[in-house]
Amino acid sequence: MQESQARYTVKQVAALTGVRETTLRVWERRYDVVTPHRSPSGYRLYDNNHVRALRAMASLVDDGVPASIAAETIKNSHAATPDRPTIAAYDLVAAATSLEPARLDGVLAEALAAAPIDHVADEWLLPELERLGDAWASGEASVAHEHFAAAGVIRALSKAYQAAGSPASDHLVLMGLPEGSHHELGLMSFASCLREHGIAVAYLGADVPLDDWIKAASDLKPRAAVVGVPQSANVTRAQALVDRLSELAPPVSIWVGGGRSEKIQRAHQLPHRMSDAATELATALSSGAA
């Protein structure tokens, strides 16, 4: 999915930015801060660039900047942004096999800054990690190279997660892996995607014991829980976790994602593409379906 592809309605953008629909329309008409696309039936449709611009505009206005000045600031900032290389130009495998921390961190930082995190995850990060796995299988990379890369990715995603800013709504999503599951790069990428979509996230991480999961859900009372199921070995414990989560009151909307998530029952299946998954969950939260 291209970064500029229009896929959000005005109602979804209002939920993602925390800006009322009437205010969004005023900003468009009066200040021309964004120009939404139009569907064949005439509905406004917004892309990731629009959402980012509107979030930035909202942040400035919240800080007391007059809307007219905030709009000019956003438009000038967009016009002054230099062209970046496409994310395909960044070589994670070469950086990993170099074992040079500065090189790896630089590649990850530049790639993650090149586009919204869901686009980067779908079009670059996850394919590059798969390519690194292929390099290991062919003998071109070692286990040390894989672990070095994974540690760097976790550092970079942690920064992206923190940099996403304050959530636009108070709909909390609890996320983590079941006990015995350690492969968290996909789930951590998704947590950063949700944060960038303005969703509040409580990220538990990897290898979380069942009772601790349930305690966290009982204490936090999230609107939704996302359980990662990256491998076949995780299915049994993931299903046990989903079964326990489904018994909670008030009820929690349960979602599963990852390579083996289709094996799990009594839960909503997230699309495998990060961009589609983030949009589906954000829409469900904003509409009250989750």
Most confident residue range from 15-29, 75-89, 266-280: 266-280
The CA distances from residue 143 to 35, 65, 134, in Å, are 48, 51, 12
Write out pLDDT tens, residues 112-148.
877 788 888 999 999 999 999 999 999 999 999 999 9
Confidence (pLDDT) at 167:
75
> In total, how many domains does the chain have?
3
Name the domain boundary from 32, 49, 80. Answer: 80
Task: Decide: pTM greater than 0.85.
Answer: no
Name the domain boundary from 128, 163, 198. Answer: 163
1 found inside a domain: no
176 found inside a domain: yes
Q: Is the pLDDT of residue 163 over 90?
A: no
3 found inside a domain: no
Q: Residue 133 belongs to a domain with what CATH number?
A: 1.10.1240.10
More confident site: 229 or 48:
229
Name the domain boundary from 80, 109, 125. Answer: 80
The answer on 191 and 159 residing in a single domain is no
Write out pLDDT tens, residues 197-243.
889 999 999 999 999 999 999 999 999 999 999 999 999 999 999 99
Write out pLDDT tens, residues 1-38.
344 455 788 888 887 777 889 999 999 999 998 988 88
Q: Is the pLDDT of residue 82 over 50?
A: no
Q: Residue 64 belongs to a domain with what CATH number?
A: 1.10.1660.10
Q: How far apart are CA 120 and CA 153, in angstroms?
A: 12
4 found inside a domain: no
Closest CA to 25 of 14, 38, 16, 12: 14
Q: Residue 208 belongs to a domain with what CATH number?
A: 3.40.50.280
Pairing of strands 44-45, 37-38: antiparallel
The answer on 52 and 148 residing in a single domain is no
Confidence (pLDDT) at 78:
59
Range of the domain at 213: 172-287
Mean pLDDT across the chain: 88
Structure tokens at 48: 């990731």
Residue type, 132: L
Q: Is the pLDDT of residue 272 over 50?
A: yes
The answer on 193 and 232 residing in a single domain is yes
The answer on 243 and 184 residing in a single domain is yes
